[in-house]
Amino acid sequence: MRKRLALSHLPTPIQRPRRLAEALGVDLYVKRDDMTAGAEAGNKIRKLEYLLAAAREEGADCVITCGGLQSNHARATALLCASLGLRSLLFLRAADPSAGAPLAGNVLLDRLAGAELRLISPEAYRGRDAVMAEAAAEIRAAGGRPYVIPEGGSNGLGALGYVRAMEEIRKQLDLGLAGGKPFDVLVHACGSGGTAAGAALGAARYEVAGEVRAMAVREDKATFARVAVEIMDDARSLDPRLGAPAHLVIDDSARGPAYGVSTPEQRARIVKAARLSGLVLDPVYTGKAFCGLWDMAERGELAGKRVLFLHTGGLPGLLAQGADFADAF
């Protein structure tokens, strides 16, 4: 078994938002992985439990990672590194790096945690692996011990966090929670592919769901399908007990205009979901994924099915986009 740091508050609950479920006509449950911790909460912490364990095992004193300007992964990494006494270096994609980063949302939390932020253009970000490798080489040359974590913590080691999450759900079902039997489909947001890969492998191994529906919020479905296969192969090389995945469907129908940009309809649905259930979804990840689930419900694709929505967090990103919701009230 791979080493893991116990950094999150587990198990997270599975809840049934009755009024929201009735409005959609769906037998709906929600796995509250927005409750994995405090300010560092969300799905990324499950991956970072394995990745930061590896960093410590290698004697690292600095963790390097990357993401969008309002990256949830970067924020979780920065806060967890602070708790472990590790320096963090974050490469964040910004449309105009010279404009700086506003002290709002995840960026504010990054700065509170003492992370070093380096803003890079979208063009430079396409070569992010090389950029981080170069930074790691510079740190080593200065006597430091860096550990590089890929975008979203999405590699085979990080994916083991969501294999373990599926085991957690299996134990909850065995206790009679959430109806006590497997789900027909698990729906979640997909931003870098690691959660999808781990969930698909774990859902099959622990008989949690026959289908995993990953709602792409950035790349198209062909890209994420390829990435997910690569990550699953990597994960199986680390844990040979993992077999064939559950049926993994990459759905890019709710991506919206661009990464981090939502439509008026998506924002209206985020508001409606909150008023029907108290669930707070964000316009970058969970809001778009839930809109994809909503569309499936309206098309009748979820009739008679047990559905589990994986809430992956993202609250700080929502708070950074408050002005965009003026048309939703």
**How many CA atoms lie within 13 Å of 229's alpha carbon, on the beta-carbon side?**
6
Question: If we measure between CA atoms, which residue out of 30, 29, 28, 27 comes closest to residue 304?
Answer: 27
The active-site residue, picked from 71, 154, 192, 277, is 71
Six-digit token string for 300: 């009748």
Six-digit token string for 253: 């129908």
Distance of CA 214 to the CA centre of its chain: 11
Cα–Cα distances in Å, from 218 out to 97, 120, 136, 156, 258? Answer: 20, 18, 27, 20, 7
Reduce the DSSP state of residue 129 to 3 states and report it.
helix
- Cα–Cα distance, 197 to 212 (Å, whole number): 9
Known catalytic membership, residue 154: no
Can you say whether residue 313 is alpha, beta or left, with left for phi > 0 and alpha for psi between -120 and 50 degrees? left
Six-digit token string for 1: 């078994």
Residue 13 CB neighbours (<10 A): 13
Cβ atoms of 311 and 286 closer than 8 Å: yes
Just list the catalytic residues. 71
